[in-house]
Amino acid sequence: MNQYLLSVYGVEGEALPSPEVIQKMYADVDALNKVIQREGAWVFGGGLHPASSATVVRAKNDEILFTDGPFSEAKEQIGGFWVIKCKDLDAALKWASKATVACGRPVEVRPFQEPAA
């Protein structure tokens, strides 16, 4: 079994959809999570607070530095992710297709170096 990171991307500061649409997204993602678990593909997953809540930590010389905000200044930031385990990229792409429909955002699929435990 291989592991894949499915990251959900959003554009920071973009207007949010209506509360009804958001509610439906939550419900759809919830339902999808149950299917992923039932099929034995679940490793971990969750939604994240906005990138503005992030802190970057760096080691410089003997010092540890904190920087307020996300590492990348890009407008597109990760809003949540899944880690799934499955046979190959085709299987991962199938899960990602369901995921993008459920959360209404683009999903990036990236393989882990290590196979699933």
The span from the CA of 91 to the CA of 22, in Å, is 27
106 binds other proteins (CB under 8 A): no
CA 36/CA 41 separation, integer angstroms: 5
Q: Which of 17, 50, 106, 111 binds other proteins (CB under 8 A)?
A: 111
The distance of closest approach from Cβ of residue 91 to other proteins in the complex, given in angstroms and rounded to an integer, is 8
Q: Tell me how far apart the terminal alpha carbons of the chain are, to the nearest angstrom.
A: 8
Residue carrying structure tokens 């760096």: 58
Q: Does 39 bind other proteins (CB under 8 A)?
A: no
Tell me how long the chain is: 117
93 binds other proteins (CB under 8 A): yes
Contact residue for other proteins among 74, 89, 101, 106 (CB under 8 A): 89
Does position 100 bind other proteins by CB under 8 A? Answer: no
Characterize the bridge pairing of strands 76-86 and 42-47. Answer: antiparallel
Binding site for other proteins (CB under 8 A): 2, 87-90, 92-93, 109-111, 113
